[in-house]
Structure 1
């Protein structure tokens, strides 16, 4: 019989990626690479879904949607110098229209064809922009497409070409002066206090007392014991820690992210989760997130942070696969079929309200600290599950909105409230400060608490209620299976 795999070992990467940064690109010819990518759009992607997308958009009664179809047909034709400007304009008009539909209308992208059109327009625009020599703008096109649903494997050849060109552009000139510049950048970054201190601030008002600790597995427990005692019983548990992953030490120096990937765009949630009026989503460069959000919070040294922002539940490793080389999928995920990995990077005091998911979840802390409170599925009768309407089914404080009729954006705000909790899997109770007069049955629910630090992991079974609050600037990964 085969031996059990050690519980802290890993078995595979989230994304298949082979770094070619050290390779010599002497044989690299940009025209050939561009032709390959252009042909990919005109043949493989066009035949897979592009032409069908055109046909579906064309039969829509909306004239604007019909124009999208006409533009997309042009986008799918072979790229030539004579048509480059016309094709670029078609891409930009498609993207402008689709952005407006996504942001301004209550239904958002209610058709798969909208997302498909956005992805194809973004990929083509990246090539048109690249031909003009605007490498960073071309990468921003790809990042936006990836953020809004482009599959990572589809965009990867485009991203890799741009990475090669950006490295070549940055590597020009004298090697010594280039190395000197890099050293100066590293020193400057560290002077800005970009290193996260992996110490839990005991004096911070953010740190709760643990009265009902989550059960912890023995450090020598086997994978089979995990499956029999916890996975098969849908029982949450704290798993053995693993600080051997390169990301645990490497990523807490935010200068690494800033120097390597600072220009890359990311989706950001800005504002406290319970402040519906001011909460918003933005797409910003990673370096802006670090300099304007994370660095100021690090300098507070554990004091309560009033400015909250979160790179939340994002598949960053499809977008920047190099980062996936710094960790591997935990062996515990062998209990099921691995689906995806998300990153959660943010300031202190970010909150994910109490909810449940349909996937099993291995949640791991990379750096910083988070407080997690869990409730078994059997406590669902006490959790006051939301019905989907954000305004009427939540217990978080909401400002009086009697003056909304005078607000030109009132309809948009109402729509935003309704759709933020459309899944109906969120508890109406603030589990750290419950209103037991309004939710008396909640007192019967039994919490399980844990504070996670660097290298700590927990298993959260599907349909297990869980609430998460960051105690410091922190980064987490969750592996869904």
Structure 2
């Protein structure tokens, strides 16, 4: 796995055009206030698994940070930045040797410290801050918590200094074209009365538990999330504003059984611009699920565990909970028993919550640009 090691090597920022420090060096002043008062308070305690040479580099970066020569001066900043890059590069290699569960937590902490020192070097200089946020996010995603989760607190400060301008006419035109393309290719399936998933308005917890959760029967719950702020606030523009410059793990592809399916790290803005796609494979989870629809509509089919044989699960262990069948365009020559598989279906709209019992096969296709929130439990 290659590592984006410098701002120039990162994905091109699609953050708002006025993504700049709001006034003077106030960003550095606010960030500096988050750090321990002295370098002795910024402890670098690691086990013997971390080489002395790496600890020496960490100490050097710390000394530059607290040295008599401020990081706001060119020479100290450049030296600290170079040292931070070496720390990040070396620890990145440690993170990507073997399986993730075998990575020593100390190496994750080293990586986070490297990201911290690099971010401090970057925000000590006036200019754009989207790349600084990305460095902190990489430390959060790949590293471990350090200094009372300081990377999160730094991001909170940086986001306060972001100013957001209006989208350009060209950007608006591109977004409108993307919506048109999606809508032109969307078909709304008809649902027979015998296939409809029942609805229930604001049931008591006892009623839901006894009549649906324990007997494992799907149901659409209505009126239980109307009070959520997201039901009124969420939109593409809102998500761009609060999280557009954040780096998140993303699954790219329409089905995770396809060869081109992959996972990557990218900015929320880039995801919205490039990969608002339908995830339309069918599979099941070993947990109960509440599927809460917030924006747009989704077409959903549910198949009970008793239909598993008719759904032709993959034979490999890693995909044993995923069907080989293209649900809305099945190959009945290859999968003849699929035609016998009974299912329930719905078009889930904003404010509705679908209860999916454990091991129920579920197929989901977006009918609009849509966002959902899911909760799982055993």
One fold, TM greater than 0.5? yes
2:288 counterpart (350, 360, 367): 360
Given that residues 221 and 353 in structure 2 are in contact (C-alpha distance below 8 angstroms), is that contact kept between their aligned partners in structure 1?
Answer: yes
Within 5 Å, which residues of 2 pair with 1:462-473? 462-473=358-369
Deviation at 1:155, TM superposition (A): 7.6
Alignment CA distance shift 1:240-1:165 (3 Å): closer
Deviation at 1:209, TM superposition (A): 1.3
Mapped to 1, the partners of 2:319 and 2:42 lie a distance apart of 35
Given that residues 136 and 155 in structure 2 are in contact (C-alpha distance below 8 angstroms), is that contact kept between their aligned partners in structure 1?
Answer: no
Given that residues 356 and 463 in structure 1 are in contact (C-alpha distance below 8 angstroms), is that contact kept between their aligned partners in structure 2?
Answer: yes
Alignment CA distance shift 1:117-1:432 (3 Å): farther
In structure 2, the partner of 1:456 is 352
In structure 1, the partner of 2:7 is none
Mapped to 2, the partners of 1:468 and 1:39 lie a distance apart of 54
1:317-365: CA deviation from partner (whole Å, max 9, x where unpaired): xxxxxxxxxxxxxxxxxxxxxxxxxxxxx34xx1241111112110011
Deviation at 1:72, TM superposition (A): 5.3
In structure 1, the partner of 2:35 is 34
In structure 2, the partner of 1:164 is 157
Deviation at 1:166, TM superposition (A): 4.6
Given that residues 126 and 137 in structure 1 are in contact (C-alpha distance below 8 angstroms), is that contact kept between their aligned partners in structure 2?
Answer: no
Deviation at 1:462, TM superposition (A): 1.5
Alignment CA distance shift 1:240-1:188 (3 Å): same
In structure 2, the partner of 1:127 is 116
1:165-191: CA deviation from partner (whole Å, max 9, x where unpaired): 452x45xxxxxxx7xxx5x52797995
Alignment CA distance shift 1:76-1:480 (3 Å): farther
Number of aligned residue pairs: give it: 328
Alignment CA distance shift 1:438-1:246 (3 Å): same
Deviation at 1:441, TM superposition (A): 2.9
In structure 2, the partner of 1:219 is 201
In structure 2, the partner of 1:244 is 227
2:320 counterpart (407, 424, 427): 424
Alignment CA distance shift 1:163-1:426 (3 Å): same
Deviation at 1:235, TM superposition (A): 1.5
2:248 counterpart (266, 272, 281): 266
In structure 2, the partner of 1:112 is 103
1:208 counterpart (169, 174, 189): 189
In structure 1, the partner of 2:212 is 230
Mapped to 2, the partners of 1:459 and 1:39 lie a distance apart of 53
Deviation at 1:245, TM superposition (A): 1.9
Deviation at 1:369, TM superposition (A): 1.1
Alignment CA distance shift 1:86-1:40 (3 Å): farther
Instruction: Name the SS for the 1:269 alignment partner.
Output: strand
Gaps of 5+ in 1: 1-24, 56-67, 102-106, 171-177, 294-308, 310-345, 390-421
Given that residues 372 and 468 in structure 1 are in contact (C-alpha distance below 8 angstroms), is that contact kept between their aligned partners in structure 2?
Answer: yes
Deviation at 1:99, TM superposition (A): 7.1
The more displaced of 30-39 and 450-459 is 30-39
Deviation at 1:29, TM superposition (A): 6.3
Deviation at 1:100, TM superposition (A): 6.1
Deviation at 1:150, TM superposition (A): 5.0
Alignment CA distance shift 1:185-1:209 (3 Å): same
Given that residues 41 and 120 in structure 1 are in contact (C-alpha distance below 8 angstroms), is that contact kept between their aligned partners in structure 2?
Answer: no
Deviation at 1:479, TM superposition (A): 0.7
Deviation at 1:75, TM superposition (A): 6.5
1:380-437: CA deviation from partner (whole Å, max 9, x where unpaired): 2322221227xxxxxxxxxxxxxxxxxxxxxxxxxxxxxxxx2421112222222233
Deviation at 1:117, TM superposition (A): 5.4
Within 5 Å, which residues of 2 pair with 1:36-435? 42=43, 51=47, 55=49, 69=51, 73-74=55-56, 79-81=62-64, 84=80, 87-98=83-94, 109=100, 111-113=102-104, 116=105, 119-134=108-123, 135-148=129-142, 156-167=149-160, 169-170=161-162, 182=164, 184-185=165-166, 191=172, 205-211=186-192, 212-241=194-223, 242-252=225-235, 254-273=236-255, 276-290=258-272, 292-293=273-274, 309=275, 346-347=276-277, 350-388=278-316, 422-435=318-331
Asked which structure has the greater RCO (Cα within 8 Å, sep 6+), the reply is 1
Deviation at 1:373, TM superposition (A): 0.8
Instruction: Name the SS for the 1:139 alignment partner.
Output: helix
Alignment CA distance shift 1:126-1:89 (3 Å): closer
RMSD: 3.9
Alignment CA distance shift 1:425-1:92 (3 Å): same
Deviation at 1:457, TM superposition (A): 0.6
Deviation at 1:239, TM superposition (A): 1.2
Alignment CA distance shift 1:262-1:204 (3 Å): closer
Deviation at 1:41, TM superposition (A): 7.6
Instruction: Name the SS for the 2:373 alignment partner.
Output: strand
Deviation at 1:454, TM superposition (A): 0.8
Mapped to 1, the partners of 2:290 and 2:40 lie a distance apart of 40
